[in-house]
Chain A
Amino acid sequence: MTEQTRRDFLKHTAAAGSAVVLAPLAMAQEAAPVSMVICRYPEGGPVEDNAGVDAMAKTMAEKAIEALGGMGRFVKKGDAVWIKPNMAWDRLPEQAANTNPVLMATLVKMCLDAGAKSVKVGDQTCNEAKKSYPRSGIEAAVIAAGGEIVYLDENRFKEYSLGGKKLDKWPLYPEIVESDIVINVPIVKHHSIAKATVCMKNYMGVIGGNRGAWHAEMGTCLADITRFMKPKLCVVDATRILTANGPTGGNLADVKRINALAAGTDIVALDAWAVELLGHKPEDIESVLAGSKEGLGEIDYKKLAPKEIQLS
């Protein structure tokens, strides 16, 4: 299984590489799919302005997925889709501990429009799920968009063989792992040990067991789970980011309006882009470095020639 995965990634990297090579060729540009898109509005604005942020999130998500070639590129007719946000904390959207709810709803709708059989949303929460799901705003938004909310059951985790560098076996949530595609939609946050938490760290919401034990060797563990999860599409919510006291947050003073969003197929590149927003170099973040060294993606995201969409 491991070799299979690795081969997948080699192929993937080769594809990304060729995209870079082919980029200058005007003829080939349409043929080679875009692997990373960054949408931006001008920075700033009141943190509590939910309506404003929500509108931006919706527009940016639509533009970004469109630029990647539309949701149909990732979601096939009849697919079981799982969208994995950050909604682990009993916090309000403006506290930037959880992914923007409207972004989630927009993605759910796009998946359904692409013909998905089911679109489920769920996370292994840190606070009580029954409190975190509703307070994040994601529960209501996803249900309104036609998606399904799943409360993970502590007793339904199943041991999978990860065959990782550090982790041989670990309990994961079968309903997520066995989906046709898992779309990873984190919010960019400060984290006191990992320094930053974005896409790779978001996979911790798929795992059971003694999750805390990962923290002492975060980089390797995250590379292992990322390799296993075979990311196909990640969308990074940087409308509001949490700059301190993460990943829990709570204080609005720690929240910053970036008004940006990135989406793509290369998880390491997206994480690299996101940690720069928090003022880090990608090489200084262990998980990003591990991801790059393990061949899970490109740490120098600029090499992918990300398509930039400036909005106003």
Chain B
Amino acid sequence: MTAKRFGKTMVWLRRAVQIASVALFCWLFWSARFRDDAGPGPFTNLLFDFDPLILVATWLSAHAVAGGALLALITVAVTLVFGRVFCGWFCPLGAIHHFAGWLDSLSRRKRRKAQPYNRWQHAKYYLLVALLVMALFGVHWIGVFDPISQLYRVTATVLYPGAQYAIEDGSTAIYHADPHVGPVYATTVTEPVYKFSRDYVFVTDRQAFRNSALIALLFMTALLLNLYRRRFWCRYVCPLGGLLGWLSQRQMLRLTQAHGACKECGRCATVCPAGASPEKPGHWRAPECFGCWNCVPSCNFNAIDFKFATPFRRPSEAKLDLGKRATLAAGAGGVAALLMFRLEPQAQGRTYNPGLIRPPGALDEREFLQRCIQCGLCMKVCPTNGLHPTGFDAGIEGIWTPKLVPLIGYCEYNCNLCGQVCPTEALKPMGLKEKQQFKMGMAVFDRTRCLPWAYDRECMVCEEHCPVADKAIFFKPAEITRRDGTKVTLKQPWVDLSKCTGCGICEAKCVFRDLPAIRVTSANETRHPGNQPVLAGFSGESYFVNDTPAQSGSEETTPDPYGTPPESSNNPYG
């Protein structure tokens, strides 16, 4: 078989693998969802586990890795042999960019121009250096750029909700208008589509996310840049591509370029999406090459082909030369960025942001940020749409990390999905009982708005919804004098500080919809003893004989929030 024919087969095989990898991503993304009580699908972290950048960066910043992440060593091994085939064949984000570039080439009548190697392709290596230096000092910003993380984030917060909105709102509009021609109703098509997508595709109720605009904008920009250079993102920016490129300097599968046979027509350069210089005999750039095989069948003279070589043989003359000075500068840039991130009292742990309510199981803020890769999977699985990406409320360092927004959705008492799907255990995986003990914050009444406090009317919606078995919201009767002088006894609601977990269902259900009259703040959160106004496990005991409080339902038995839950919580009814 000639190199050209074999190359053609490989190109089609590569396309099939790319489609399969996107399909796999879609399936994995979909499988991360609530399924009765069975927990999420078993492989939700698979793609993250194969990502060596997440492995390295998490290990640098948190000095710990999730067990499955060792699968990334397979990716490393494959790269050492075959080069950046992860980028060319397996990366679902790469496949999407590849597809975008292909769409563009379809729309242009003229033959594609070559997009040769450019020095700026070094940018991704410098970005990698900067990010790894930051990780070493505990700023885990890898997720902002990592392709897997980015794809999950944009799918979770932009693409999926966008598709859901379009389908559901569109079919609902048709359902209400009910257009028809004679006996042919539009709804006979739209309703089954709507029901199928609702029941089998989206599974959760309609989602929309705060701070998703910037995520969408950056993704769209990256996609559009394919018009300028095919696979712009993968060529210039992707730090995972940089890491794999660095590893593939002496890859075993190498492009052999026959000096004599090559007529220097440059045809291969027009199909190379990576700027790997296949058109320059002896100057093929292994670290840039995606191993996509486009160039091999494009050559009419069978002058180029992939052949195996031992890693000891010197690779081509075009080796990766980043330059000491530039590399050091990149590292220094990382340190500078890190300092900039930390020049913020909150980033130094000196203040607590009341609105920054982290999901259940979140580690101490610093440790949390050292692990969270902003992938948005927790937000995707949250059944109430309660988890949202932060803007800058966790600092620049914590951009797009998850926070609970009770106004939109509360933390469901019998749900611990977010901790189960977190790929880096930034959210500690917890059993349901432990999760129900975990305090995310505390509810506070706004007595200037609350109906029984401010407007002499009865209301109990918050108390009604409080899921804690004996209610963290309780009433005290109070005699009120109304405007007309009549007296009335009202039940005024209070929060039991020792029972409230900050789940936020009270805020989510409060009758005030703009600014609820009961709101959760991060105070009293389990993960920060420094943010607890009182010591955990208040017993009410006192050395003064007469000061023992009347028996109330508010005693708490566990002083250690991470310790064994109190006996009462062993009953399965919470």
B446 contacts partner chain A, Cβ-Cβ < 8 Å? no
**B573 engages A251 (CB within 8 Å):** yes
A252 contacts partner chain B, Cβ-Cβ < 8 Å? yes
Contacts of A134 in B (CB 8 A): 36-37
**B573 engages A250 (CB within 8 Å):** yes
Knowing A90-B413, A155-B206, A192-B460, the reply to whether A215 touches B511 (Cβ < 8 A) is yes
B467 contacts partner chain A, Cβ-Cβ < 8 Å? yes
**A155 engages B451 (CB within 8 Å):** no
B414 contacts partner chain A, Cβ-Cβ < 8 Å? yes
A158 contacts partner chain B, Cβ-Cβ < 8 Å? yes
Provide the bound-state CA to CA distance between A95 and B574, in Å. Answer: 10
Question: Size of chain B's interface in residues, with CB distance under 8 A?
Answer: 45
**B509 engages A131 (CB within 8 Å):** no
> Which of A153, A212, A252 makes the CB contact (< 8 A) with B461?
A212
Contacts of A158 in B (CB 8 A): 176
A193 contacts partner chain B, Cβ-Cβ < 8 Å? yes
**A126 engages B470 (CB within 8 Å):** no
Contacts of A245 in B (CB 8 A): 469-471
B168 contacts partner chain A, Cβ-Cβ < 8 Å? yes
Within 8 A of A (CB), among B174-219: 175-176, 198-199, 203-206
A293 contacts partner chain B, Cβ-Cβ < 8 Å? no
Provide the bound-state CA to CA distance between A126 and B464, in Å. Answer: 10
Residue of A nearest to B415 (CB): A131
B459 contacts partner chain A, Cβ-Cβ < 8 Å? yes
A127 contacts partner chain B, Cβ-Cβ < 8 Å? yes
Contacts of A94 in B (CB 8 A): 573
B389 contacts partner chain A, Cβ-Cβ < 8 Å? no
Name the prevailing secondary structure of the B interface residues. Answer: loop
Instruction: Kindly provide the distance from the CB of B48 to the nearest chain A CB, expressed in whole angstroms.
Output: 25
**B511 engages A193 (CB within 8 Å):** no
Q: What interface size band does chain A fall in?
A: 20 to 34
Most chain B Cβ neighbours within 10 Å, of A129, A131, A158, A249: A131
Within 8 A of A (CB), among B457-512: 457-461, 463-471, 475, 491, 509-511
Contacts of B460 in A (CB 8 A): 192-193, 215
A312 contacts partner chain B, Cβ-Cβ < 8 Å? no
Within 8 A of B (CB), among A238-256: 245, 247-252
> Which of A153, A212, A213, A249 makes the CB contact (< 8 A) with B198?
A153
Residue of A nearest to B413 (CB): A90
**B383 engages A131 (CB within 8 Å):** yes
Contacts of A127 in B (CB 8 A): 412-414, 467
Contacts of A212 in B (CB 8 A): 459, 461, 509-511
Instruction: Kindly provide the distance from the CB of A223 to the nearest chain B CB, expressed in whole angstroms.
Output: 17
Task: With A212-B509, A215-B459 given, name 17 new contacts (CB 8 A).
Answer: A127-B414, A128-B205, A128-B415, A130-B383, A135-B37, A153-B172, A153-B198, A154-B206, A155-B172, A191-B464, A193-B459, A215-B461, A215-B511, A216-B457, A248-B465, A250-B467, A250-B468
A-B contact pairs, 22 of them (CB 8 A): A92-B573, A94-B573, A128-B205, A129-B205, A131-B383, A131-B415, A135-B414, A151-B198, A154-B205, A155-B206, A158-B176, A191-B464, A193-B458, A210-B513, A212-B510, A215-B461, A216-B459, A216-B511, A247-B464, A248-B466, A250-B467, A250-B468
Which A residues lie at the B interface, using CB under 8 A? Answer: 90-92, 94-95, 126-131, 134-135, 151, 153-156, 158, 191-193, 210, 212-213, 215-216, 245, 247-252
Give me the 8 closest cross-chain CB pairs, A-B, nearest first. A212-B511, A250-B469, A212-B461, A193-B460, A251-B469, A216-B457, A128-B383, A192-B460
